[in-house]
Amino acid sequence: MRKQTFGVGLIGFGTAGRIFHAPLIQATPGLELLAVVSSSPERVHEALPEVEVLPKAAALFSMPEIDLVVIASPNETHYPLAKAALAAGKHVVIDKPFTVSLSEARLLKAEADKTECLLSVFHNRRWDSDFRTLQELHEAGTLGRTVSLELRFDRFRPKVADRWREQHKPGSGIWYDLGSHLLDQARTLFGMPRAILLDLMAARDGAEVDDEFHALLDYDTLRVTLRASSLVAESTPQQALHGTRGSFVKYGRDPQENWLRDGRTPFRDWGIDPNPGQLTVLAEGDEAKLTTREYPGLPGDYLAYYAGLVDALSGKAPVPVSVEEGIEVMTLLEAGLDSYRQNRWIRLKEGNGNLRQLHRHG
Residue 269 is predicted with a pLDDT of 75
Give 25-86 as a DSSP string: HHTSTTEEEEEEE-S-HHHHHHH-TTSEEESSHHHHHT-TT--EEEE-S-GGGHHHHHHHHH
Confidence class of residue 356 from pLDDT cuts 50, 70 and 90?
Answer: very low
Neighbouring residues of 245: CB distance < 8 A, sequence distance ≥ 6:
142, 143, 144, 281, 282
CA torsion 266→271→274→275, rounded to 10°?
Answer: 150
213-218 long-range contacts (CB < 8 A, ≥24 apart) are 213/174, 213/175, 213/178, 213/179, 215/179, 215/182, 215/183, 215/336, 217/186, 217/190, 217/193, 218/193, 218/194, 218/345, 218/351, 218/354, 218/358
pLDDT at 360 over 60: no
At the topology level of CATH, where does 129-300+332-347 sit? Dihydrodipicolinate Reductase; domain 2 (3.30.360)
User: In terms of pLDDT, which residue wins out, 353 or 340?
Assistant: 340
Mean pLDDT score of the chain, rounded to an integer? 93
- Whole-prediction pTM value? 0.93
Q: What is the mean pLDDT of residues 334-358?
A: 76
Residue 268 is predicted with a pLDDT of 66
At the topology level of CATH, where does 6-122 sit? Rossmann fold (3.40.50)
Least confident of 45-49, 87-91, 269-273, 291-295: 269-273
In the chain, the percentage of residues whose pLDDT exceeds 90 is 85
pLDDT at 344 over 80: yes
Residue 355 is predicted with a pLDDT of 36
Q: What is the pLDDT of residues 32-51, one digit of tens each?
A: 999 999 999 999 999 999 99
Confidence class of residue 285 from pLDDT cuts 50, 70 and 90?
Answer: low
Confidence class of residue 85 from pLDDT cuts 50, 70 and 90?
Answer: very high
Domain coordinates in residue numbering, the chain: 6-122, 129-300+332-347
Q: What is the pLDDT of residues 92-130, one digit of tens each?
A: 999 999 999 999 999 999 999 999 999 999 999 999 999
